[in-house]
């Protein structure tokens, strides 16, 4: 009888690296760290980047120029729905407004440093966001959908033990132009806004670098643009925010813009989750359960997705699957089990596939929809947990951990009896 999940081939452990040369323009690695002259697509003077304005921001900008609100709606469509960046091409705008825009505004996404394609057609871009930082985004094509995974921070301060991004430390939150600019750029690169072309991006997941809910205002503004029918027109069911459990912001998102929710669980008891997801020390599992229950009152889907990375000898026993079942009791949910994607210095190993299968069977036999995450893009370090970019770490975590591979003192919880 077929299982309700699929076993996948193990990944190749590789360390994400910034390329030594940038193929899209003449540049050097020093450009990224600010020691060379500015890149050629840096903003000119004090021009406002229209990618950094949401619908209300465009209305305010047009009003400050003496233009009516409908001009902002026209701009919104030209920029986000049609992907146009040249003001002269915005033919239904008055010539005087187009000239004013050309002199005072620009449409500029983060500069692309590198563009890699995996054997399975997964595509990963490395984007320059300035001040010595680069972030990554990934496009995952499938038969029935195309998913873009976007980043919200340069680095991440949550420091989950199994995540390559967190190992790099944290620099800063991304701005709106840097977050929505990822979708804007990917649409152009994939040909989705070309006249007559079918959009390839049907889903967006906030699962790239960073914790989206710790950059809440920008995440919210980006979500609203993605859902706006005058912009990208995505449905709430096709946009997913992943969080490690920032409970106050989960409650705010439920009120402000409830989209599909994915929660990084990774452990069924506080003692273990404290070690794997340090944020659990502030927002423990009982509070997380309650926050998920509240979110479902407004969510576009009738379940919460739980992400669970499978770590050899750490969180993958059948007894721990039973603990998971106890924790999710009466909470509508589905599970994505994620084979761990190795990176140097983690001190962790991937669970064997037979153990992942037994864990999955335990959950599915209890009536929980359970899948094993299909690994995509591992040959270009684009798989889950492997996004690292290049981060100037203000937390100095990289410096403190340099050349130290420290085993993580994780003890498996005692079996339930």
Per-residue H/E/C for 86-143 = CHHHCCCCCHHHHHHHHHHEECCCCEEEEEEECCCCCEEEEEEEECCEEEEEEEEECC
Return the ∠ at Cα 178 (arms to 89 and 204), rounded to 5°: 90
Query: What residues contact residue 376 under an 8 Å CB cut-off, 6+ apart?
Result: 118, 120, 122, 140, 382, 383
Distance CA 309, CA 319 (A): 16
Q: Is the dihedral of CA 140, 149, 16, 131 positive or negative?
A: positive
For residue 318, indicate whether it is catalytic.
no
Which value, to the nearest 10 degrees, does the dihedral of the CA atoms of residues 106, 128, 229, 107 take?
Answer: 10
Angle between helical axes of 176-189 and 216-227 (0-180°, round to 10) = 40
**H or E element at residue 308:** strand 304-310
How many angstroms from the chain centroid is the CA of residue 5? 24
CA dist 408 to 160, 276, 311, 319, 413, Å?
12, 9, 12, 21, 15
Annotated active-site residue in 160, 257, 292, 384: 384
Q: Say which residues have a Cβ less than 8 Å from residue 127's Cβ, sequence separation at least 6.
A: 109, 110, 111, 112, 113, 134, 135, 136, 137, 178, 182, 185, 389
What does each C-alpha distance from 80 to 64, 186, 257, 285 come to in angstroms?
22, 12, 19, 39
Radius of gyration of the chain, Cα coordinates, nearest whole angstrom: 22
Q: Out of 67, 136, 178, 187, which one is annotated catalytic?
A: 136
Q: What is the enclosing helix (H) or strand (E) of 155?
A: strand 153-155
Tell me which residue has tokens 């994505």: 336
Q: Any catalytic annotation for residue 255? A: no
Strands 111-117 and 123-130: antiparallel
- Residue 273: in which H helix or E strand, if any? helix 270-276
Coil/strand/helix, residue 196: coil
Active site residues: 136, 384
């Amino acid at each position: 009888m077929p299982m309700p999940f699929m076993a996948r081939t193990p990944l190749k452990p590789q360390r994400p690296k910034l390329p030594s040369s940038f193929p899209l323009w003449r540049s050097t690695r020093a450009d990224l760290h600010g020691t060379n002259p500015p890149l050629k697509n840096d903003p000119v003077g004090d021009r406002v980047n229209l990618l950094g304005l949401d619908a209300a921001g465009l209305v305010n900008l047009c009003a400050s120029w003496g233009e009516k609100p409908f001009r902002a709606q026209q701009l919104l469509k030209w920029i986000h729905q049609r992907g146009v960046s040249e003001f002269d091409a915005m033919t239904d705008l008055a010539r005087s407004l187009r000239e004013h825009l050309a002199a005072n505004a620009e449409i500029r996404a983060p500069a692309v440093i590198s563009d890699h394609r995996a054997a399975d057609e997964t595509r990963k871009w490395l984007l320059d966001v300035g001040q010595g930082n680069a972030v990554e985004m990934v496009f995952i094509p499938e038969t029935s959908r195309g998913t873009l995974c976007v980043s919200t921070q340069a680095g991440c301060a949550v420091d989950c033990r199994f995540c390559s991004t967190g190992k790099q430390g944290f620099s800063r939150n991304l701005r709106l132009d840097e977050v929505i600019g990822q979708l804007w750029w990917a649409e152009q690169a994939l040909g989705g806004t070309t006249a007559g072309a079918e959009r390839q991006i049907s889903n967006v997941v906030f699962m790239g670098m960073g914790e989206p809910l710790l950059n809440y205002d920008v995440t919210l503004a980006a979500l609203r643009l993605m859902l706006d029918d005058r912009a990208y027109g995505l449905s709430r069911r096709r946009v997913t925010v992943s969080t490690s459990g920032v409970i106050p912001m989960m409650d705010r998102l439920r009120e402000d813009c409830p989209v599909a929710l994915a929660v990084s669980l990774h452990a069924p008891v506080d003692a273990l989750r404290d070690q794997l997801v340090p944020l659990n020390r502030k927002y423990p599992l009982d509070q997380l359960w309650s926050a998920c229950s509240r979110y479902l009152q407004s969510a576009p889907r009738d379940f919460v997705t739980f992400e669970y990375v499978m770590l050899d000898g750490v969180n993958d026993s059948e007894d721990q699957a039973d603990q998971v079942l106890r924790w999710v009791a009466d909470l509508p949910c589905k599970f994505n089990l994620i084979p761990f994607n190795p990176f140097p210095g983690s001190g962790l190993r991937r669970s064997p596939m037979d153990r992942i299968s037994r864990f999955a069977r335990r959950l599915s036999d209890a009536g929980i929809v359970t899948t094993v995450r299909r690994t995509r893009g591992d040959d270009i370090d684009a798989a889950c947990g492997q996004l690292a970019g290049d981060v100037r770490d203000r937390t100095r975590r990289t410096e403190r951990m340099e050349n130290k591979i420290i085993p993580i003192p994780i003890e498996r919880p005692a079996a339930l009896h």
